Amino acid sequence: MATPKSKQKNPQPLYCNNDHYFMALDTYYQHTRHQETLAKWIEEEFESYVVKVLSEKFGDKLDDQPLRVLGVGSSEGNLETLQLEKLKTKFSRISTTIIEPNTKLSKYQEMVRQKSSDITGIEYIWHNQTFQEFVTSMEAGQKYHFITIVHAMYYLGEVEETVQTFYELLEPGGMIFMVIQADYYGISLLWKTFPQLAVEQQTPATTTEPQKIKTNCLITSTDVKSVLSKYQMAYTQSSYTVSSDLTTCFTQDEMTPVTKLLLDFITMTVDFLESVSDETVNQVMDLIKRNTRVKKGDQGGDKYYFDNKGDILVISK
């Protein structure tokens, strides 16, 4: 049988198509309630894991200097704002440096403008560039008390070098809050089984030159933890799980547009179903199906949930 025309196209990695990447990412975040899940963790745990410790270390030592915060891959800033609000309960002055190469930065700036009357005592320093560009151009000796990196480690280059750079940028007594994909679970299990889908892709478009650093979705918390152990950097670990409802993949001839976008995100491929060979689609869908949690739905039929796990590493210097 002749291969359909659409199957002859080269699959496009999600990261090469900025608009489709953010459409799929936003769909995944909304559908799985990913941001709400992390927001809940920040609401309930951030105080004891981070704020209390930083306050004991620096609370009475800053004089009239601000607490210096660095956000990397901040996007629209929703999760960072929650962290800053928590830090603000103990530190009257905060100076936060935001690094985000994408145009999403303007949404963060707009949110800060709108909230300006509520956010007193926080100074924002914006960098519409990559972390790699920032490091190359930053003032020598600049240090931060707190660094936050939520699901951005995949774009920053070689893990050991990146973790060491973050550690060097940290004041003694400072902390890093890192959220990253857990190993061999859900999405990372899929990516590790089909590495051609997830590795060595271009980073999202930046404002300046095309990036030489490649995205590597195969980076997980295991890679970071092995660097932390190697250099005896202290850390704590928590985890969270989110679920994608992929029922229409297995029970209906036509998938919903939302399910298609979820699949694009999970497989890191633009129009996964149309652009990848039938053989790969079948293998990927088979792996997903074998790793779904099946539950009886309210209306009777089976529901298929594909769970994914993230790790929250809090690193201390």
Least separation in angstroms between residue 99's CB and ligand SAM is: 5
- The reply to whether 163 sits near ligand SAM by the rule CB under 6 A is no
Beta carbons of 284 and 267 less than 8 angstroms apart: yes
Spacing of C-alpha 60 from chain mean position: 33
Question: Of the candidates 46, 91, 155, 194, which one interacts with ligand SAM according to CB under 6 A?
Answer: 155
Question: Of the candidates 104, 225, 260, 303, which one interacts with ligand SAM according to CB under 6 A?
Answer: 104
Task: Determine whether 39 is exposed, middle or buried from the number of CB atoms within 10 Å of its CB (0-12, 13-18, 19+).
Answer: middle
- The reply to whether 11 sits near ligand SAM by the rule CB under 6 A is no
By CB under 6 A, the count of residues binding ligand SAM is 21
Rounded to whole angstroms, the Cα distance separating 77 from 109 reads: 9
Report in angstroms the alpha-carbon separations of 195 from 13, 201, 233: 12, 11, 29
Residue 75 or 201 having the CB closest to ligand SAM: 75
Backbone dihedral region of 63: left (phi > 0), alpha (psi from -120 to 50 degrees) or beta?
A: left
Question: Of the candidates 79, 159, 273, 284, which one interacts with ligand SAM according to CB under 6 A?
Answer: 79
- The reply to whether 223 sits near ligand SAM by the rule CB under 6 A is no
Least separation in angstroms between residue 137's CB and ligand SAM is: 13
Q: Which residues pair with 9 in a beta bridge?
A: none
- The reply to whether 28 sits near ligand SAM by the rule CB under 6 A is no
Side-chain-side CA neighbours of residue 113 (13 Å): 8
Query: What track of x and - describes contact with ligand SAM for positions 117 through 136 (by CB under 6 A)?
Result: -------------xxx----
Alpha-carbon radius of gyration of the chain: 21
- 3-state class (DSSP) for residue 42: helix
Least separation in angstroms between residue 73's CB and ligand SAM is: 3
Residue 177 or 185 having the CB closest to ligand SAM: 177
- The reply to whether 303 sits near ligand SAM by the rule CB under 6 A is no
Point out which residues bind ligand SAM (CB under 6 A). Answer: 25, 72-75, 79, 99-102, 104, 130-132, 150-152, 155-156, 203-204
